[in-house]
Each structure stands twice: as C-alpha cells, then as structure tokens.
Chain A
Amino acid sequence: MPDETIKQGLAKQGVSRRDFLKLSGLLAAAMGLHAAPVEASGLPVSLNAPASGYQEQAILHAIETKQRLPVIWLEFQDCTGCTEAVSRSVSPSLGNLVLNTLTIEYHETLSAAAGFQVEQAKKDAMEKYAGQYVLVVEGSIPTDNDGAYCVIGGRSAVDILKEAAAGAAAIIAVGNCAAYGGLPKAKPNPTGAKGVWELITDKAVVNISGCPAIPEATTGVIAHFAVFGTLPKLDKLNRPLTFYGKTVHDRCLRRPFYEAGKFALSFDDEGAREGYCLYKLGCKGPTTYNACATIKWDQGLSFPIQSGHPCLGCSEPNFWDGGGFYEGQSAPLDRPTITAVGAAIGAGAALGIGTALVNQSKKKAKKGES
C-alpha cells in the first residue's frame, strides 16, 4: 500500500538489509546515475545532503523514507507491446524490486478488475492521490472526429488523458505512439493521432520512445521519480539523456566496419555472415538516439543490429514515414514519380521551345522591317 515506505514494504517481503543495499546500487545503475554528476541528475537539494556525492546513498535515503508511488497507466491506440516489454523485461531482481517501489492503481492489461469496477478504481485513485501519482501513457491519442476513434467507457481518449494529466505529479509517455504518435500517426494518419506532449502542454512529459520502449528506460525513469521526486534531465525531444544521449550508431558493435567501408549487401551474403555494417541494408542507427546498443534487450542478450537486422529508428518521431526500412538512410524521403519527372522536363522543354520560337519570329519580323 502506498501509505507504508518502500523500505517497510520490502522488509515485509523478507528483503534483507544486504539485498536492500544491492537494490539501491542497482537502481542507481538503472538510472544511469553512477556516471552522472549530482547536479546533472536533477537531484533536489534535500537529497543532495545525505548523498554526499554518492548516488547510491541518496537512493538509500529516499527508499527508507519515501512512500510507494501510485501509478496510473493508460492505454490508447497501442499494441500493449510496451507493457509486454516492461512486464517481462528486466532481470527478475530488478524487475521485482522496481515494481515494489510502485503501486499500479490502474492498468487495463494488468488489472484483475474490468469494466465499471476498474474505472471506479481509477477514479478513486485519482482523487485519493491527486497531485501525487505518476501518469504513464501508452499509445497515441486520436483527435479527429472529437476523438471518436478511441473511446473507453464511453469517453474519448483525449478526455481521459486530460483528466488524468490534470492531477498527475509526473507524466511519462512510453513507446513511440504515446511519445510522438507512432504507427497510428503514420501517413495518412487517418485518426489524427498525436503524442501526449502535443496535447498536454502545461506539464513536462517525459518521452520514453521506442517500439517498444526499452523496459529499463521505462522502469529507470519511474524509479528516478519514485526515489528523487524529480524527472531526469531530458533532451530536446523530452527523452531522458541517460538513455537517449547517444545514437545507436555511436555505440554500435558494427561501427568499425562502417568506418572501414565493409558492408553487408544482402541478408545472406558473405558480409552479413562476417557481421559487417548494415548501413546499406537501411540501418537508421546514425540518426537514432536510443540505448539499444548498450542496454540491449532480454537481460542484455542482444539487440536488432547484433542479430543482423538494421535499426528501424523506432525511437525517433515519424519513423514510419522516415524512408523504407531496408533502404539506405541517405535516400530521399519524397521521390518524384516518373510522371512528375516527365512533366517537369516536358514543361521545361515546352517553355524552352516556345521561347525560342518567339525569339525566332521576333528576329524574322525585325528582318522584314529592315
């Protein structure tokens, strides 16, 4: 229950002091705090004092004194992939312990209750924890036709989001859909889908983009807020710098092959077998900011590029419209059709011939005069 501190909750479950200390270290690592200076992490002053510069101690202090954090998790135009990722993602110790610092009050997929019951539970939670809860959003929000394309319990996604955002202490958009519109926003965007930060402009929205979002990034940010009560430092697209500070290309294990000009040209050629760079197969790593190449997936087992597939750029806005997945990144996005090219050349030629004829007739007329 949120009324007890995180530490009390852990103690109840038989977590020893030793494991508790391990958790603090683990959380610091998950949040990337070990590498960040105190100032950069956005720590409140009250937490800086006991920390004395050591992030683990700050976390320790916070876990001992803070209550568990209520979370309301909304799903709109999504595929539940980000929930799937979070729920089965991380190493069990981290996953269980991070989840122990939260109480998830509402989650369509994870909640046992359904229908009016669960809607009532959400309403109660929003009233009880007004101004305290973390709002996590998964999926984009359709805005065309008064939001008619996504309605839950007779209310549009826009209404539900705005209501929940009003009382939230922090808003986290998980996955590319919630962050930037994702697949539903791909051309021609039939539902008028938008990301959360396009609709909620009076509060900071943390975007944990990706398709799905890297679960450690999601849990890391929630844990950061749970422990420190602040949001981590963000980039221009409101993504936490800890996870989105570098491009996939910068951290890629195939990078040396890019520099050496050694590329796989198809998925089954010698280059592919040798593990060469996938740039020519459409890799979007150079313009994609994400931690795939370092945190990886499935407990650090692998990530798409490692297993031979080019990066799709799933943590960037409009990646579905960012050129063919298997087409070189340098390829233009809008290519004229052969008809458009023909029309341009034809029009130019016609105008050119016309000009020449006019000039000729002028010349003849002049000759006739003289």
Chain B
Amino acid sequence: MSSQAVLEFARGPFFYFALLFMLFGLAYRLFSVISLGWSKDRVVPMGSKSKGVVVTFLKAFLIWPFIPWVKNTFNRNPLIYIGGGLFHLSLFVVVILGTPHMLVWKSLIGLGWPTLPLPVVDWMAAVGIIAMVILLINRRIHPVLKLISGPAEFFAWLFVFLPMITGYMMTHHIGGSYEALYARHMITVDVLMIWIPLSRISHFVFYFFSRAIHGQEFGKRGVAV
C-alpha cells in the first residue's frame, strides 16, 4: 500500500469515522451525566447563579493565567502549572492559528480566519512538545504523581503526543516523503479523535460544563471565586 493510498484513507473514511465517533462518544458521555439530574435546591440563593458562571469564566481566562502566584496550584507545583499552561497555549496556537489547521476548520465549518506565520507556529509547536516531555518525566519521578498515574494517563499522553510530533516532523520533512509523514500525522490524529471520548482528554469539552456548574454554585452561595 503506497503512502498516498494510506493518506487517502486517513484523510477520507478513517477521518470520517473518527470524527463521528468522537461526536457520538462526547454526546453520550455528556448526556449520560447531565440526565442524572440535580438534587433539589432547598436553600435560598445568596447571589446570582448566572453572574457566578460569567465571573468564573472571565477569571479563569483573563485573570488567573496572568497572576498565577496568587493561586495555591501554582505555588505548590510551578512546573506543572507552567508546563501545562504552555502546552495548552501551544495546542491552541497550532490547532487554531496554524494555516493548515485553519483550512481544516474552514472545510468543516465553512469559516476561516487569519493565521500566524509558520515560524511562530513552529516554535510554539516545539514548546508544546518540550513541555509534554518535561511533564511526562515529572509524572514518572514525582512521588505523588507516580502513585496516581496508571495506563490511562500514559495512553492519554501518548495519543496527544503522537499527532504533535508527527505534525512537527511533517513540517520539517523529517523521516520520509511528505505524503508518508502526512499519512502518519493524519492516522495519529484520527486515533486521537477516537480516544478523546474514551478518556479524560474529553475535558476540552467537559471543562466548560463543569466550570459553569461550579460557577453557578459559587454564585448561588455568594462565594468570591
């Protein structure tokens, strides 16, 4: 089977299946939790629930990332905070602001946007890859993380790392012809999409729901977020 044929499969039917499987799986998980229902609210609210939701999101995106030292999470383990932060930033820059990825979005949702120059995206990808490696080493040597890390954590790391490293190799034409590298990248992306609903990587969707629920809870109780 030629690389071109593998690429056609990975960009074609395999991508199609992976995308629908991901949407199916995410919908299943989301609704199976939401439909469990909430316990009855017997307390008089001390504040606005919707205000709590808005404030919690605004703070999470606009305030805490820029003054992290106020938070305990940062003070207790700055490596995870910085490494994790850079990794997520890298992912955002590459997947949303990288030209080839924008074209994927454009083909799927019919909407395009300006992108960053290749060198910028490329450096951010390198930052993300390095951050992932450091975080993996940390997970392997940190006494507490070691105890709570099982196969699920390492699979999640692997299935995210593979598309990143194959994408980087593809950009730099390392390790084969362009279409072979492209095929490898697409296969790892398809595998990741299938793995997303089966794992905690699904937090990129569920995060917003859980954050909103926490927010409204905070708002209701009048807690300073």
Contact = CB atoms under 8 A, between A and B. Distances in A.
A130 interface: no
A280 interface: yes
B102 to A, nearest CB: 8
Given A261-B117, A332-B12, A348-B26, A237 B2 contact: yes
A237 B2 CA distance: 8
Interface string B89-133: 000000000011101101110000001111111000000000000
A251 B201 CA distance: 40
B20 interface: yes
Interface residues of A, number: 47
Contact of B16 (A236, A335, A352, A359): A335
Residue among B2, B31, B177, B182 having the largest count of chain A Cβ atoms under 10 Å = B31
B8 A260 contact: no
Interface string A135-160: 00000000000000000000000000
B87 to A, nearest CB: 22
Contacts of A340: 20
Interface in A224-268: 236-237, 247, 249, 258-263
A317 B36 CA distance: 51
Interface string A335-370: 110001100111111111101110110000000000
B28 A352 contact: yes
Interface in A257-314: 258-263, 279-280, 286-287
Interface residues of B, number: 47
A258 B178 CA distance: 15
Contacts of A335: 16, 107-108
Contacts of B16: 332, 334-336
B103 A328 contact: yes
Contacts of A360: 36-37
Contact of B100 (A237, A329, A334, A346): A329
A111 interface: no
A335 B15 CA distance: 8
Given A287-B179, A345-B24, A333 B15 contact: yes
B203 interface: no
B20 A336 contact: yes
Contacts of A321: 8
B63 to A, nearest CB: 32
Contacts of A350: 31
A78 interface: no
A327 B28 contact: no
A349 B27 contact: yes
Interface string B201-221: 000000000000000000000
A317 B28 contact: no
Interface string B11-33: 11101100111011111111111
Interface string B24-50: 111111111111110000000000000
- Which 6 pairs, one residue from A and one from B, show the smallest C-beta to C-beta distance? A328-B103, A348-B27, A352-B31, A261-B117, A356-B35, A331-B107
Interface of B: 2, 4-5, 7-8, 11-13, 15-16, 19-21, 23-37, 99-101, 103-104, 106-108, 115-121, 177-179, 182
9 contacts: A329-B100, A331-B107, A336-B16, A344-B23, A348-B29, A348-B30, A349-B31, A356-B31, A356-B35
